[in-house]
Amino acid sequence: MTEWIIPCNVKYYDVTGAFKKLKRVDWKQSAKNINVNDIVYIYVGSPFSSIKYKCLVTKVNLNSIEIDDSEFVIIGDQYVNYGKHMELEFIREYDDNVLSLSVLSEHGMKGRIQGPRRADTEISKLISSIS
């Protein structure tokens, strides 16, 4: 099992609304080496700028969207015809700022979260201490 951090831009997708209504969502799969049973932490950009959600990967390499979450898509060109998708199952939500970019940076996170990345050991320990 690998732990991943992936970004979400709330200008494009209402991830908060989606997880309040749905327990599973299809998500664009940018990293080809994400596998079923991996953990995905969703880093939500401004105004949150923090990891807000923990999810379990339940399906990978989907050729089309299987779960209709269209009511939460704000700007669809980033999601509709993306290519490969994965299915994420909601596990938990983190409080605002508990895993903010500044906290993540203090624990070794380098740069901004603009694409999928593996959570290194120190970040995994930090998140586990909160879980």
Please report where in the chains the tokens 């909160």 appear, as a residue: 130
The residue range of the domain holding 51 is 3-130
* Residue 83 burial by Cβ neighbours in a 10 Å radius (0-12, 13-18, 19+): exposed
Averaged pLDDT for residues 107-125: 91
* Domains contained in the chain, number: 1
- What CA–CA distances, in Å, run from 123 to 43, 79, 120? 13, 28, 5
Segment 53-111, tens digit of pLDDT: 999 999 999 988 889 888 998 887 655 566 789 999 999 999 988 999 999 999 999 88
E strand spans, 1-131: 3-8, 24-28, 39-44, 50-62, 85-93, 117-118
| Torsion sign (Cα): 33, 36, 41, 45 | positive
Averaged pLDDT for residues 103-129: 92
Arithmetic mean of pLDDT over the chain = 91
Q: Dig out the tokens for 57 from the structure.
A: 């990967």
The domain spanning residue 61 has which CATH number? 3.10.590.10
